[in-house]
């Protein structure tokens, strides 16, 4: 029992003190959550509702992930979170957006401007779209092509966001490494200065 409590305490300390560990943990949780949401997602296929319905999937979990990250990092409203809010707090929210954009169906649903029913695309990868009930000036085949283009455009947005996060993490690691080197050099200089001062004092005494 004590070993379990110690393990939980250590895990809590790692999550609160290390942004990298907490972001990795959040990343795996969000990936699982996105897969569960994907199975249950059903686009209304109504132009008046598509945008608001899909936006809820983008905004609400992202805000929740950001809030949970602030709580884990020890943010308190009494101090306005000035010391705890950092770029790492936004990483889980951005990861969630990347997952949704890479999936494609949420963005495609939001941009669908015709009525229909949400069905699987025949002879294709597991992909759903709003099949029009009635054909107007635009045929169902043309609307399917437009829907697939929305999928591709959504995935391009996801890839761009992923590249931005990778570049940001690379810059962060380089900056941290350079800062550690500077601190080590300052510590060495301070030690040498202290040794010289002590040797001078010994000579004068």
- Enter the tokens of residue 112: 């669908």
pTM of the model: 0.72
What pLDDT score does 111 carry? 93
Q: Count other C-beta atoms under 10 Å from residue 63's C-beta.
A: 12
Give the mean pLDDT per block of 10 residues along the chain (205 residues): 54 54 66 73 90 92 83 57 60 87 92 89 74 80 90 94 85 79 72 64 61
Tell me the helices (H) and strands (E) count for the chain, helix number first: 6, 2
Q: Report, in angstroms and rounded to the nearest whole number, the Rg of the chain calculated over CA atoms.
A: 26
Which are the contacts of 95, defined by CB distance < 8 A and separation ≥ 6?
23, 26, 27, 30, 65, 165
Give CA–CA dist 98/94, Å, rounded.
6
For 98: left if phi > 0, alpha if psi spans -120 to 50, otherwise beta; the answer is: alpha
> CA nearest 144: which of 173, 122, 168, 176?
122
Side-chain-side CA neighbours of 194 within 13 Å: the count stands at: 6
Domain boundaries, the chain: 2-204
State whether residue 92 is helix, strand or coil.
helix
């Amino acid at each position: 029992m004590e070993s379990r409590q110690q393990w939980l305490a250590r895990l809590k300390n790692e999550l609160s003190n290390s942004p990298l560990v907490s972001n990795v943990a959040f990343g795996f949780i969000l990936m699982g959550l996105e897969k569960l949401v994907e199975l249950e997602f059903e686009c209304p296929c109504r132009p008046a509702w598509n945008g608001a319905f899909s936006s809820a999937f983008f905004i609400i979990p992202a805000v929740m992930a950001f809030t949970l990250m602030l709580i884990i990092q020890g943010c308190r409203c009494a101090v306005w979170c000035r010391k705890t809010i950092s770029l790492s707090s936004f990483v889980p929210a951005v990861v969630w957006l990347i997952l949704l954009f890479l999936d494609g169906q949420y963005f495609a649903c939001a941009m669908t401007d015709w009525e229909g029913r949400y069905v699987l695309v025949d002879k294709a990868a597991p992909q759903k779209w709003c099949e029009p009930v009635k054909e107007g000036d635009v045929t169902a085949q043309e609307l399917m092509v437009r829907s697939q283009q929305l999928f591709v455009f959504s995935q391009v947005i996801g890839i761009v966001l992923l590249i931005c996060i990778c570049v940001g993490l690379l810059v962060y690691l380089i900056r941290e490494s350079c800062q550690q080197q500077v601190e080590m050099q300052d510590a060495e200089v301070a030690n040498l200065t202290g040794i010289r001062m002590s040797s001078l004092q010994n000579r004068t005494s």
